[in-house]
Amino acid sequence: MIKFPKDFYFGSSTSAEQSEGRFEGDKKALTTWDKFYEVDKYKFYDLIGPSKTSSVYRRYKEDIDLYKKTGHSAFRTSISWARLIPDESGIVNEKAVAFYKDYFTRLKEENIEVMVNLFHFDMPLYLEEKYGGFVSKEVVYKYVEYAKTCFSLFSDIVKIWFTFNEPIVSVECGYLLQYHYPMEVDAKKATQVAYNMQLASSMATKEFHKIVKDGKIGIILNLTPAYPRSNNKYDIKAANIAELFASKSFLDPSVLGKYPDELINICKKHDILPEYTNDELEIIENNTVDILGINYYQPLRVSAKANMPNPEAEFMPSYYYDPYIMPGRRINKYRGWEIYPEGIYDIAMNIKKNYNNIPYIISENGMGVEDEKRFKKDGIIQDDYRIEFFKEHLEYLHKGIKEGSNCFGYLVWTGIDCWSWLNSYKNRYGLIELDLETSNRIIKKSGYWFNELNKNKGF
């Protein structure tokens, strides 16, 4: 039997924008996702936008009961900035305060450790339209004020905090690849947004330690180990550069307090260095995180460029590498992602060796599958494929822990099927099925298995 420590957390993660919903009179402001859906709803699968979620704002009490039945000892969600502070006055929405206080308190009372993230891709629209979001330093300062408000309001209940979820996704998808609003292709803006988000994270970390004396704060990063096609030195060089952008651009300043020199030199070469000050770099250096959240879904496989890049094209990190599709790879055909459980072990060893063995939690790991109703038997989705996915990843995570990696928990994406950005409900990830028509929740086979996992602290 594979056993985990007695105090090891098992649970799930979601986000405010993907689960809470919006209801008449709740005073939640619009986010960039509302705007994105308004201007280009055809990008969203089945034309389902951010207003159709699992309605956690109204159903959280019922959901907490389901989390107990599926073996949660921890649960990670986010606070909606647009709900808590619905306009630029900075005045808090008391309805939001009441909701979050009750939500978090009830989780705590059920012995479910609540972990709260401050920003999960959901920029308030009023800040995007006036300042351009994190392109602007003004929004950095507004984020820090928002963070301080959250710490002051909820740190008596919440002891584990995160500043951002997957900030590199906001950078790449919003300013290079056009998957998130504002759908721009501008490398200079991309690096400025990346730098400003890191600065905001470091400044919030500084304020956290002034306000909260009995908690921990970190940042959640989607770490995708970059594997070279071969041992050829140019493939290896390509993989190293890919990892600079995909992982080290936030991992190094967040944990070590400094950006990699090679990354700085590449940005200089392409004239995309962000605007910064030495005082800001000092803040980043002196306010590293206490813990890490690590999201892992798939590896990044690359090779040396087959052709010279077009000098007239907008800079992309792939200027230095080509994506590589490994022959014979295992793949989740519904999502198009490679399944490579060994990657979670490689991340564990990297964190141990190169990042001071900082304590971390696997904050997302999961498998999205389309049309899961096909697998329903006697009213329950028989998602054995998801159980096997979890088991394989947990085996490699356990191997990393046995070898000294400092992991304190494993959270799956997600508890209850949730709305998922442009994919809407195309692929389902939950331990608990959501009926889109009735909003009813039904525990899947994986949910019952997960309950046994936590009960036994292993399998």
Instruction: Cite the active site residues.
Output: 166, 364
The DSSP call for residue 273 is: P
Closest by alpha carbon to 32, among 117, 120, 122? Answer: 122
Burial class (CB in 10 A: 0-12, 13-18, 19+), 41: exposed
**Number of neighbours of residue 328 by Cβ within 10 angstroms:** 5
Rg of the chain over CA atoms, in angstroms? 21
Query: Quick one: which of 150, 261, 276 has its CA closest to 215?
Result: 150
Q: From the centroid of its chain, how far is CA 37?
A: 21
Token code pair at residue 414? 């997600």
The answer to whether the beta carbons of residues 14 and 77 sit under 8 Å apart is yes
Q: Are 264 and 309 in contact (CB under 8 A)?
A: no
* Beta strands 322-323 and 427-428, pairing class: unpaired
> Going by C-beta distance under 8 Å and a sequence separation of 6 or more, which residues neighbour residue 241?
262, 266, 317, 320, 321
Separation in Å, CA 252 to CA 58, 450, 454: 40, 33, 33
| Dihedral angle of Cα 4, 8, 10, 12, to the nearest 10 degrees | -130
* 416 SS3 class: strand
Angle, to 10 degrees, between the axis of helix 167-175 and the axis of helix 187-211? Answer: 150
Q: Report yes or no: 443 and 12 within 8 Å, Cβ to Cβ.
A: no
Task: Please check whether residue 435 is in contact with residue 54, taking contact to mean a CB–CB distance below 8 angstroms.
Answer: no
3-state helix, strand, coil in the chain (%, to 5): 45, 15, 35
Q: Are the C-beta atoms of 197 and 134 separated by less than 8 Å?
A: yes
User: How many C-beta atoms lie closer than 10 Å to residue 39's C-beta?
Assistant: 10
